[in-house]
Amino acid sequence: MKILVINCGSSSLKYQLYNMDNGDVMAKGLVERIGIDGSNLQHTPAGKDKIVFEQPLPDHSAAIKLVMDKLTDADCGVISDLSEINGVGHRVVHGSKYFSKSCIVTEEVKDAIRKCFDLGPLHNPANLMGIEACEKLMPGTPQITVFDTAFHQTMPEKAYMYAIPYEYYEKYDIRRYGFHGTSHKYITSRAIEMLGGKKDSKIITCHLGNGSSIAAVKDGKVIDTTMGLTPLEGLVMGTRCGDIDPAIVLYLMNKENLSTQDVDTIMNKKSGVLGVSGVSSDFRDVESAMNEGNKRAKLALDMFHYKVAKYIGEYFVALGGANAIVFTAGLGENSKTSRLAICEYLKCLGVEIDAEKNGIRGEEIDIASADSKIRVLVIPTNEELMIAQDTKELLDK
């Protein structure tokens, strides 16, 4: 059985083609900077070198078409025809009240994903575009959805409720849902293994990418997480503001005569490190600008690191201590400077990191020094593997 996994992020698309008979990854790749200058596809057929294709990719449909072309290409492809793929597993960000587990795509499922557009404005439309592009390119092949909100369903009421009139929870299901659940779940299980299979574990998982979130995980179950009703709450992100005083929204609407759509765009697409730095939503660009002396770029990164560290402190309290802090995703896995800046704040909790180990990239590693009171793990996330397993399970039924 061959399963293609598609993970459409706000500006990136990751894919892996699995041979589920032996668990091998036949090909994998990453499309970066979708919709912004410098779009490129990095395609790696198993056992061969990565090939980079640079071309403008205005949206996710264009990106998927390019991926399909390369998977079936005579030179760099790994299958001769798309019909060899038995099913496609898609990451979908917001499942709201409609989905508590993975399912096979039907028209009703697509309608429900559309109903969640308001709640996941940066991701759900991209996720649905991915599903529809695949349906068009490979009609008849089952498409499966795996939801980001599922792993956080174990949060207690006191963590997921907002202190607004209770009737809005009853009427509109307004509560905190949390996101990046597939990633938090994967790195939690890897971390527990790295801690020697520890049963009573207290782990703080930090998924730091363009979209970022942290979860407090006790004995393998989420007790709190930074994202809320939508993926806008919590940390400072690439283009999202994270936590702000809600009164700012009303104040801005009055002062600038803004519509709700205007404010939504400002908070989701024009804020975060992009909004503060004025440079880019890509952390690498912002880091380069800071190194060239750009003060607002430095401020944006300082705000990001400070907020991450504050939430780690909050979750240390929520968990009553911590065995490990885990870093993952684009920034968490790759930026030693960000990990260092965040861990500087955590010295008061007894966190010490080993500079040399912090410089190692691309593998699961404990970067804490021997005498650190808390382990600091870098674990490349593997949402794709989790999605492939869910997809196979549904196809086997």
Q: Which residues are catalytic?
A: 148
| Distance between CA atoms of residues 113 and 358, nearest Å | 39
* CB-based contact 148:179 (threshold 8 Å): yes
Cβ nearer to ligand ADP, comparing 201 with 239: 239
Residue 209 or 228 having the CB closest to ligand ADP: 209
Of residues 11 and 145, the one with the C-beta less far from ligand ADP = 11
Q: How far is the CB of 359 from ligand ADP (least distance, A)?
A: 12
User: Residue 234 CB, nearest distance to ligand ADP (Å)?
Assistant: 13
**Closer CB to ligand ADP, residue 125 or residue 319?**
125
Query: Which residue type is seen at 262?
Result: D
Q: Which residue is nearest to ligand ADP (CB)?
A: 330
Any contact of residue 358 with ligand ADP (CB under 6 A)?
no
One-character DSSP codes across 355-379: HHHHT--SS-EE-B-TT-SSEEEE-
How far apart are alpha carbons 303 and 312 in whole angstroms? Answer: 14
Among 277, 330, 358, 376, binds ligand ADP (CB under 6 A): 330
> Rule CB under 6 A: which of 257-316 touch ligand ADP?
282-284, 287
Q: Is 210 in the site for ligand ADP (CB under 6 A)?
A: yes
Segment 232 to 251, residues that bind ligand ADP, using CB under 6 A: 238
Q: Are 385 and 393 in contact (CB under 8 A)?
A: no
Where do the DSSP E strands lie in the chain?
2-8, 13-19, 24-32, 40-45, 51-54, 87-92, 103-104, 143-147, 202-208, 212-218, 221-225, 324-328, 365-366, 375-378
**Considering CB under 6 A, how many residues would be counted as binding ligand ADP?**
17
The rounded radius of gyration (Å) of the Cα atoms in the chain is: 21
334 lines the binding site for ligand ADP (CB under 6 A): yes
Distance from the first to the final alpha carbon of the chain: 14
Write out the residues near ligand ADP by the rule CB under 6 A: 9-12, 209-211, 238, 282-284, 287, 329-331, 334-335
